[in-house]
Amino acid sequence: MHASLHAEIFKCRRIGQVIEVVIGQLILRLVLRPMCHCRASLGQAMRMFKLQLSLLRPRIHRIAASQGCEATIVASQRSLPCAHALSDAMAVRSWARAVALLGSVFSLSSPADPRIGKLLRDAGVEGPYRATELESGFCNDVFRVDADARDGAPVVVKLFSGMAKARCDAACRGVVDVAVGAAGLGPEILLRTEDALVCEFVAGAEIDEAAVHANDCALAVDVLAPKLRRLHALPSPPPLPRAPAALWRGVDAMLGGAGGGPIALERLEREAARMRRAVGAVAEADVLGHGDLKPSNVMLGADGAATFIDFELAGPNYRGYDIFKLFRTAGPSPVSDQNLGRFVEAYLGETASASAVDHVRLETRLFEPLTWLEAAIFFSFASVQLPEKRSEMAALAADRWRAYEAVAGGAFDANVRALERHAAVERR
């Protein structure tokens, strides 16, 4: 084993760096060179590779443990390409290109949670599998699972966190995911329990703010608006309660655990009550809302089709809340009235009269402060529930609170009055 490789491994600070060092150097030095220059057979190269992995494994596990996780190392001769396909491999200089050539010879990821195997079996997925953590944190632990029995069709296992469970009753967890998946608007659900979901993997990429706003919001108008109309038209699945709105159920649950957070609980409760009164007077929670329709909860496939994901906060809700959350940005005036009007017209479809478009546009603007207030409450709640992340969560709560205060004054009151006048005109 090369001393330089030892030194670089010990200098690693993050598990991701271990991946880079080992794939970029270990595989190139110990597989490609022997195969290309020593004319070693495929079997000989693989045996050498596995020996070196066994020598490295204790060091990798110690580094992983220091980061609060573990390392799982998998080497498979089946994933090695044939030797003469690698004749020019020594020209490869980046670990990423080495991985592209070698496929899945080496994988380093968090180990499969012991619950995953049982969930897969309950979902009808039998046999060996490999779990790769996609997302971990205070929301949920999410894994991509590649199972031999699925013949190249991965699934996703989502383990609900304590904070996610606190915002949704056990009987209601995942029921919207099931309904949306059955309607073709979200991933198909293979298994739902009070603690987890198993669903089909959605190929594609998350969209971002830039994609939503690009080209006069073309993606939002042409693709997302009709999709959102279909979501909002779905019936609310039992046993979801019809009232209060999912937004207020989540806010109430978080306020119940936000005492002692960075923002005084009395201030949060006062502003939540103020918003609830004002919104309740001019808007109805009469659609099946997503509840957290930020751009990262929309997957866009290679064919241009959009799929909604992550319905933990879904339920009967306000259409304007979903729409504004999709367009919200860190800066003021995230979307022009013209582009918002075009989106609303596409969203309403055949019912898009000029009066209806104006009403939904005004209603959407009404929810700008609430999207920030809900976020401030969430991060205040998180700072209490996750003491190890208190400073990080407190900073995020303060940022969202400042954004709320910037738009919750005269502009919000003016939007309420405009909606009241519009409704009065419609009643005449």
Q: Does domain 114-200 have CATH number 3.40.50?
A: no
- Nearest residue to 27 via CA among 71, 70, 75: 75
What secondary structure, in 3-state letters, does the chain show?
Answer: CCHHHHHHHHHCCCHHHHHHHHHHHHHHHHHHHHHHHCCCCHHHHHHHHHHHHHHHHHHHHHHHHHCCCCCEEECCHHHCCCHHHHCCHHHCCCHHHHHHHHCCCCEEECCCCHHHHHHHHHCCCCCCEEEEEEECCCCEEEEEEEEHHHCCCCEEEEEECHHHHHCCCHHHCCHHHHHHHHCCCCCCEEEECCCEEEEECCCCEECCHHHHHHHHHHHHHHHHHHHHHHHHHCCCCCCCCCCCCHHHHHHHHHHCCCCCCCCCHHHHHHHHHHHHHHHHHHCCCCEEECCCCCHHHEEECCCCCEEECCCCCCEEECHHHHHHHHHCCCCCCCCCHHHHHHHHHHHHHHHCCHHHHHHHHHHHHHCHHHHHHHHHHHHHHHHHHCHHHHHHHHHHHHHHHHHHHHHCCHHHHHHHHHHHHHHHHHHC
Mean pLDDT of 24-28: 50
Looking at residue 138, what is its pLDDT? 64
pLDDT confidence of 52, banded at 50, 70, 90? low
The answer on pLDDT for 297 being more than 50 is yes
The answer on pLDDT for 8 being more than 50 is no
Domain residue extents for the chain = 3-109, 114-200, 205-427
Q: Give the residue carrying structure tokens 């009987």.
A: 171
Percent of all residues in the chain with a pLDDT value above 70, rounded to a whole number: 73
Taking the complete model, does pTM exceed 0.85, yes or no? no
Looking at residue 53, what is its pLDDT? 56
Q: Would you state the structure tokens that stand for residue 284, as one six-digit string?
A: 């109805």
Q: Is 59 or 168 the better-scoring residue by pLDDT? A: 168
Out of 25-39, 45-59, 266-280, 302-316, least confident range: 25-39
Task: Classify 205-427 by CATH class.
Answer: alpha beta
pLDDT confidence of 79, banded at 50, 70, 90? very low
Mean pLDDT of 184-189: 98
- Summary mean pLDDT of the chain: 82
Q: Convert the pLDDT of each residue in 334-354 to its tens digit.
A: 899 999 999 999 999 999 999
Q: Convert the pLDDT of each residue in 219-247 to its tens digit.
A: 999 999 999 999 999 999 999 999 999 99
